[in-house]
């Protein structure tokens, strides 16, 4: 459990608009004591959450790379489900997330991120265990690399 409470600022909620591959995109930002955190989502689910040391420009660059021609549009209503559950998690009242995820990585990265997401709250797995879980037991270092590229930390934790 985190030792601080976060307050999500309504004026930092965004939606990523524009049609690229048939989806619309959403963005949410909220302020915590150590800085701003942003969430990005598509119609299919959450695609990115930043850490406090990452800027909005980094969010824009990531979205632009993963979703060409997308634009960010402020839209608190469309991201309210993400806002609520992340707020509850940061407040220590939630241990699991029920909203959908929309992984935007390679097939291997997506498998690793799904394996990380499936680790129950309060439990830990080694990279070797995750490599085994994704069906590639020799890919321990690749699991570590995929973990480092995880665009959805906190929700898809690098460590439980």
Strands 13-17 and 25-32: antiparallel
Quote the mean pLDDT of the chain: 80
Cα–Cα dist 155/90, whole Å: 10
Where does the chain hold its CATH 1.10.10.10 domain(s)? 107-148
Which of 43, 100, 158, 160 is an active site residue? 158
Is the separation of the CB atoms in 40 and 27 below 8 Å? yes
Let me know if 158 is a catalytic residue: yes
Each residue of 130-144: b (16+ CB within 10 Å) or e?
bbbbbeeeebeebbe
pTM for the complete prediction?
A: 0.79
* CATH T-level fold of 107-148: Arc Repressor Mutant, subunit A (1.10.10)
For residue range 17-44, what is the model confidence (pLDDT) as tens digits?
444 444 445 666 666 666 788 888 888 8
């Amino acid at each position: 459990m985190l030792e601080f409470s976060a307050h999500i600022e309504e004026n930092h909620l965004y939606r990523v608009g524009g049609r690229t591959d048939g989806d619309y995109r959403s963005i949410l930002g909220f302020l915590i004591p150590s800085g701003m955190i942003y969430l990005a989502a598509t119609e299919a689910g959450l695609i990115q959450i930043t850490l406090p040391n990452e800027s909005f420009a980094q969010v824009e660059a990531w979205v632009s790379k993963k979703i060409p021609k997308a634009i960010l549009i402020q839209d608190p209503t469309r991201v309210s489900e993400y806002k609520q559950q992340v707020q509850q998690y940061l407040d220590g009242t939630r241990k699991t997330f029920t909203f959908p995820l929309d992984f935007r990585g390679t097939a291997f990265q997506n498998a690793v991120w799904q394996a990380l997401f499936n680790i129950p709250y309060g439990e830990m797995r080694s990279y070797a265990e995750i490599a085994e879980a994704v069906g590639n037991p020799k890919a321990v270092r690749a699991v570590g690399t995929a973990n480092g590229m995880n665009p959805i930390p906190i929700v898809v934790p690098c460590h439980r």
